[in-house]
Amino acid sequence: MEKPKFCTSIACMDGRIQIPIMTWLKKNHNVDYVDTITEPGMDKLFRNPNKIEEIKSKALISVNAHGSKIIIVSGHHDCAGNPVTKQEHIIQIREAVSIIESWNLSVKVIGGWINEKWELEIL
């Protein structure tokens, strides 16, 4: 039997975005399961070194124990935990992608924006 394929979503806790993220990953990367790390306004937390360490330790569980090969970090429209402009979200998401890439986990890192139609756009 083949091992199930895992990937990792680092995202806001907002209930409106989880299914669009999972659906996109299953459709485009053929994964079986999406490990999900959430906090309110996740994209802004990559400006806080203590939070970055906490997020990294959680992501490492997904990568090391489940063999995740893809990490997607996202932000979304109408975020109560991080009520900034779309432009600012995009800047923060791109910064988060660079930070995660700097962890050198040999995973593909993807940035995503969930728009006002609750569709995932890849950055």
Segment near Zn ion (CB under 5 A), from 11-19, 45-53, 56-64, 91-99? 11-19
For residues 4 and 40, which CB has a smaller minimum distance to Zn ion in the complex? 40
Q: What is the DSSP string of 4-47?
A: PPEEEEEEE--TTTHHHHHHHHHHHH--SEEEEEEETTGGGGGG
Longest dimension (CA), the chain: 47
For residues 34 and 89, which CB has a smaller minimum distance to Zn ion in the complex? 89
Residues from 75 through 94 that contact Zn ion (CB under 5 A): 79, 81
Q: Does 12 bind Zn ion (CB under 5 A)?
A: yes
For residues 65 and 80, which CB has a smaller minimum distance to Zn ion in the complex? 80
Q: Which of 14, 35, 39, 43 binds Zn ion (CB under 5 A)?
A: 14
Distance, CA of 111 to CA of 64 (rounded, Å): 21
**Bridge-partner residues for 70, per DSSP?**
108
| Footprint of Zn ion (CB under 5 A) | 12, 14, 79, 81
